[in-house]
Homo-oligomer: A and B are copies of this chain.
Amino acid sequence: LNGKRQPTIIDVARLSGVSKTTVARVLSGVGAVHSETRRRVEEAVRDSGYERNHLAFGLRTGRSRTLGLVIPDLSNPYWADLARGAQDKAEAEKRSLLIFSSDWDTERERRHLQALRQARVDGILINPAVTDDVTLLRQTEAPVVVLGSSGEVFPEFSSARSDVAQGVRLALDHLIGLGHRHVGLIVGRDRLGRSRFVAEARAHWQRQGLDAALLPTEEAKYTVDSGQAATTRLFGREGPRVTAIFAANDLMAVGAILAARAAGLACPNDISIMGMDGVEAGSFTDPGLTTVDKPRYDIGVEATRLLLEAIDGTGETVHAVLPCRLVERSSVAAPPSAALRSARPSALGSVRKKSA
């Protein structure tokens, strides 16, 4: 727009009557420079409006001071929160962040990784859509930090994730403590096969001396609609109805609330519903969704911290596991027949509809 091109280090040198080496020295702050010279150079920098060219800097030093972030979907609040954390940390460390969405598509992910390699980013944060193909990540020169539970599939890279096992315990113990003995699970189907969510839930359920048969499971796709459908399927099963539903993410839990309402069930009086995520939208439902909050933002921050450590060569490969937190709102209560049941633990029978 302005017509004249951006000033370079040479323009500054000319303006202040020194060599570009000297300018570079005051700019970088390394090496001794006469105070009067420094003053003149700084003045010239201001007057000319000089801004360091990061392309040239990166080419010369081999550090672009740019990081890459590859997530499934930027418009999904879970990933948006995480991205925000990564961006804030990168910014605090004077790095810029290149962000890509893969939509769980291997081919798109491959292209993004290529773009990042071409941009010569100093490091990559990624939630891999592809699990089988480790070579895709290995062939990348830059250090990689894996986001989420797939970190365990790539032990060679550092990773940051929430403590799903602990979160599941938190949720189940909350439910069990209230008297629930028959809980439906809505789990997401990962490209990693069955998510670890189910495994942890079953393990803890049995650890508490409860029957795995009373933990019926339906699969959904992490969306409201699929969660609603899965809940409806759950209700359609034969035998006594569950007194609570525990979904692997908040969107599916919202779907469960919708499905319960459609089935004429009052939540939490007739049925308790619990989510896992902690995204803000969970507080919009009626009743507000009780959930296990995952530290999304902090995972983004921590992953970035680990990545910068890996770039600096300091620090070993570490797998950061951040704790979850119970967020009580109002979609969970004692089951309708809690008093009865706690008296006779084996009486898991009929669920009576209570008038709201």
Contact = CB atoms under 8 A, between A and B. Distances in A.
Given A74-B80, A81-B75, A99-B97, A2 B58 contact: no
A134 interface: no
A6 interface: yes
B119 A54 contact: yes
Count copies of this chain in the complex. Answer: 2
B224 A114 contact: no
Contacts of A75: 77, 80-81, 83-84, 297
A1 interface: yes
Nearest to A2: B141
A83 B100 CA distance: 10
A59 to B, nearest CB: 4
A323 to B, nearest CB: 21
Interface string A203-229: 000000000000000000000100000
16 contacts: A1-B143, A6-B120, A51-B114, A51-B118, A55-B59, A59-B59, A74-B83, A75-B83, A75-B297, A77-B77, A77-B281, A87-B100, A91-B112, A98-B98, A98-B99, A284-B284
Nearest to A53: B120
List of 4 A-B pairs having minimum Cβ-Cβ separation, nearest first: A281-B281, A286-B286, A75-B84, A80-B80
B87 A74 contact: yes
Contacts of A269: none
Contact of A52 (B58, B73, B87, B118): B118
Contacts of A112: 91
Interface of A: 1-2, 5-6, 49, 51-56, 58-59, 64, 66, 73-75, 77, 80-81, 83-84, 87-88, 91, 96-101, 111-112, 114-120, 138-139, 141, 143, 224, 254, 261, 280-286, 297
Contact of A101 (B58, B84, B261): B84
Contacts of A87: 74, 99-101
A224 B59 contact: no
Which of A54, A75, A101: most chain B Cβ within 10 A?
A75
